[in-house]
Amino acid sequence: MNTFALSRGGAHRDRPDVAGFFDPRTFSIQYVVSDPATRRCVIIDPVLDFDEKAGATATLQADALLEYIEREGLVVDWILDTHPHADHFSAARYLHDRTGAPTAIGRPVTQVQALWKAIYNWPKLQDDGSQWDHLFGEGDTFKLGEIDCRVMHSPGHTLASITYVIGDAAFVHDTLFQPDFGTARADFPGGSAHQLWHSIQAILALPDNTRLFTGHDYMPGDREPQWESTVREQRETNPHRLGEGSEAEFVALRHKRDRELPMPKLILHALQVNILGGRLPEPESNGRRYLKIPLDALDGAAWE
């Protein structure tokens, strides 16, 4: 299985190099995005390994990113999450501790924290986003070396989903999948198919040749993992008819599809880590860490 691919930016000043790392356990793609001219980079959506059967954690995925960064002689400027993930733990805090680079996420993460604070009955949780070094708002800009970057608020999959546009590349998290698979679900707490439609349309308004990098790939037809497409490909070939369908048609399709999907197996494990910016629970008096799993908190059990 192909678990790594490098999309070269070439000689153009606004085209970053994008290294994608596929995690087969969670079907997630992590990114190291770098400016070829300055060797500065950002890490996007890193994975902290977790085996729910053994309750074991590891840093295999994150260490692979660090090895690549060291091998390529890169310097990390940011560690970025696109949203609080429901299907894997974030390694943002671990990578911050290893590199010293600041962590960031979208400002609406505070809404997600407040929502899950209630679900977990967690009165002591600080729901002000202070677990990250920086909170990005809609339209905020920053630099990756010499490359201009900006932030788009892309709610729908979650309240806090954002898209990072870095030169000619856009990191669209779970809003869009590959053109042969479709779009993200919108039935998580705080999700909205209507908002998802408008977020997708904003992404499709980017230039046709914009490189789009998704957050997951589920390999339909047992093909090899893929995670890069373009705005034009999504508009013209995505099976959810993003370029010609209506909002009402999309919402109906999304609702029907979401009713058939079970919840991700790690959603209740992962959110209590990811709304803390990738921090694991504090050890208790015996030195062990514990996760809290609320019972009957979510609809969507797939009974067989």
Q: How many helices (H) and strands (E) does the chain have?
A: 7, 16
* R_g of the chain computed on alpha carbons: 18
Reported as a single tens digit per residue, the pLDDT across 43-53 is 999 999 999 99
Phi, psi of 20 (to 5 degrees): -105, 135
Q: At 303, is the pLDDT very low, low, confident or very high (cuts 50, 70, 90)? A: low
> What are residue 164's phi and psi, to 5 degrees?
-95, 120
pTM over cut 0.85: yes
What pLDDT was estimated at residue 302? 66
Report the distance separating Cα 140 and Cα 239, nearest Å: 32
In CATH terms, 4-274 corresponds, of 2.70.98.40, 3.50.50.60, 2.30.40.10, 3.60.15.10, to: 3.60.15.10
If DSSP codes are grouped into helix, strand and coil, which group holds residue 141? strand
Give the distance, in angstroms, between the CA of residue 37 and the centroid of all CA atoms in the same chain.
26
The domain locations on the chain are 4-274
Band (279; pLDDT cuts 50, 70, 90): very high
Residues across the chain: 304
Burial per residue of 175-213, b for 16 or more beta-carbon CB atoms within 10 angstroms, e otherwise: bbbbbbbbbbbbbbbbbbbebbbebbeebbebeeebbbb
| Buried/exposed code over 54-87 (b: 16+ C-beta within 10 A; e: otherwise) | eeeeebebbebbbebbeeeebebbbbbbbbbbbb
The pair of three-digit structure tokens given for residue 21, joined into one six-digit string? 């790392």
- pLDDT tens-place string over residues 185-208: 999 999 999 999 999 999 999 999
- With CA atoms as reference, report the closest residue to 215 among 47, 56, 92, 49: 47
For residues 236 and 243, the answer to whether their CB atoms sit within 8 Å is: yes
Alpha helices by DSSP H, the chain: 60-72, 92-99, 109-119, 193-204, 231-237, 247-259, 267-274
Percent of the chain with pLDDT over 90: 95
- At 300, the pLDDT band (50, 70, 90 cuts) reads low
Please report which helix (H) or strand (E) contains residue 151, including its range.
strand 147-153
Cβ-Cβ contacts under 8 Å for 201 (sequence gap 6 or more): 242
Q: Is 62 helix (H, G, I), strand (E, B) or coil?
A: helix
Nearest in space to 137 (alpha carbons), one of 123, 154, 125: 154
pLDDT tier for residue 282 given thresholds of 50, 70 and 90? very high
- Residue 129 is which amino acid? G
